[in-house]
Amino acid sequence: MSNPARTAESVHAVEALMLKHFQTEPFHNLNLIYGPRLKPVVPGGTCSDKTLSFVDASHRAGFDVSLHTAFIGGREIHRLARVHIGGRLFFADVGNGWPSLKLYPADREISFRCFGMGFRTEIADGRVSVFHLKRGRESLQLEIDVCGKSESEIRADIEGRFSSGVVYPFSSSLRFSLVVGSQFLFLRGDRLEIYDDGCFECIEGIDAAGVPEVLHVHFGYDVRWVLRDDEEGPA
C-alpha cells in the first residue's frame, strides 16, 4: 500500500531535481547550428540530451525513472522521462524547451502556472495531453501515450535522431532556453523572449554576430572565444 505522505515527499524531490535541470542545463540546438565544438562549453541540448541527463541524475538519487516518448503534431519525436513513485506513474518533461516544471500524473489531470504562463493536462483513452498557455493563447503542446515504447527502442531512436530524416521544430532556427533567476529566457531565431510572473519582454533583431554576446550577457555562457573566428553563424 502506498503512503500518500511519502509519495508527496518523493514528488517534491523529483520536481526539485527537475527545476535544477531547468536552471543548469539549457535547452538548445547549438550543436546543429555550430557543430560539436560548443559541446564541452554548454551543457544540455535538445529533448533527448536533457532527458538522458535527467534520467542518469535520477538514478544516482535513487529514483525509479526511465525513458519515455511523446507526440508533437501527431509525430512521436519527443523524449521525456517516465517516473514511478508510490505505485503511481508520472511523466517528467525536462527536455521541453518551455518550463514544464511539474510532474504530469498518468492518473490525474493537473494545472499550474509559472513565469506568467500556464500548463494543464487532459487524460483520455490512455493518453495525457499537455496544453501550454502563453500570452493569452493556449495550444496543444504534446501528447503522451501512457504505454509507450521500450527503453531499447527509444535509445535506438535517439542514436539515429539526426540521420533519420525527421524534421524537428528546432531544425532550421536557433533555440536556447533556460530558467535564470526569477525569469524564463528563450532565444528563438532573432528574438529573445523574457518571461516572469509580472511581465513579458522581447528583444528583437538579434543577428548571427550578436548571438554569442546574448548567450554571455543573458544566459551566462561565454562562447565568444570558441566562435571568435566563426564568420558564418547560425542560418
Q: pLDDT tens for residues 81-132? A: 999 999 999 999 999 999 999 999 999 999 999 999 999 999 999 999 999 9
- Is residue 234 over pLDDT 60? no
Q: What is residue 182's three-state secondary structure?
A: coil
pLDDT band at 160 (very low <50, low <70, confident <90, very high): confident
| Grid cell for residue 73 | 503534431
pLDDT in tens, 7-45: 999 999 999 999 999 999 999 999 888 888 898 899 999
Give the C-alpha separation, 213 to 223, whole Å. Answer: 8
Domain boundaries, the chain: 4-168
- Is residue 3 over pLDDT 90? no
Give the C-alpha separation, 105 to 128, whole Å. Answer: 8
Cα 78 to its chain centre, rounded Å, is 10
Q: Nearest 10 degrees: CA dihedral of 187, 189, 190, 193?
A: -30
Give the C-alpha separation, 65 to 225, whole Å. Answer: 37
∠ CA 43-48-52, nearest 5°, is 70
- Which CATH topology does 4-168 take? Arylamine N-acetyltransferase fold (3.30.2140)
| Grid cell for residue 153 | 527502442
Taking alpha carbons only, the member of 104, 100, 181 closest to residue 146 is: 104
Q: How much is the average pLDDT of 214-230?
A: 88
Q: What is residue 209's three-state secondary structure?
A: helix
pLDDT of amino acid 166: 63
Cβ–Cβ < 8 Å for 69, 80: yes
Q: How much is the average pLDDT of 122-150?
A: 97
pLDDT of amino acid 214: 97
Average pLDDT, the chain: 92
Give the C-alpha separation, 215 to 177, whole Å. Answer: 10
pLDDT of amino acid 117: 98
Neighbours of 195 (CB within 10 A): 23
pLDDT of amino acid 83: 99
pLDDT of amino acid 233: 47
Give the C-alpha separation, 214 to 206, whole Å. Answer: 8
pLDDT of amino acid 148: 86
